[in-house]
């Protein structure tokens, strides 16, 4: 593999494994069964370290208090959306 392809592949791997501690993603489970569903990603740039986390947690509290919202468990995780189960 030439050096150009190696750099390209390394860039893709790094982008796919975004572990920026300032980004948070909101998930919920499904009433239909054990599923991990992506709801939103909080990734505002240029704010203090806890800005996105605080906003994600605020949405969790608001959703859990709203009547008519599908029953489910909401939570925040650091980083961008990752497929998988909880």
Q: How is the chain split into domains, by residue range?
A: 18-78
What per-residue confidence (pLDDT) applies to 19?
A: 58
pLDDT digits (tens, 9 = 90+) for 14-71: 344 455 779 999 999 887 888 889 999 999 998 777 999 999 999 999 998 888 876 6
CA–CA gap between residue 67 and residue 62 (Å, rounded): 10
Sign of CA dihedral 73, 77, 81, 84: negative
d(CA 86, CA 18): 19
The angle subtended at Cα 81 by Cα 20 and Cα 25, nearest 5°, is 70
Q: Which two tokens stand for residue 8?
A: 């390209």
């Amino acid at each position: 593999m030439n050096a150009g392809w190696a750099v390209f592949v390394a860039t893709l791997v790094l982008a796919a494994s975004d572990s920026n501690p300032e980004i948070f993603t909101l998930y919920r489970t499904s009433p239909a069964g054990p599923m991990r569903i992506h709801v939103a990603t909080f990734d505002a740039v240029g704010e203090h370290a806890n800005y996105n986390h605080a906003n994600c947690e605020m949405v969790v509290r608001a959703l859990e208090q709203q009547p008519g919202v599908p029953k489910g468990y909401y939570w925040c995780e650091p980083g961008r959306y990752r497929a998988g189960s909880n």
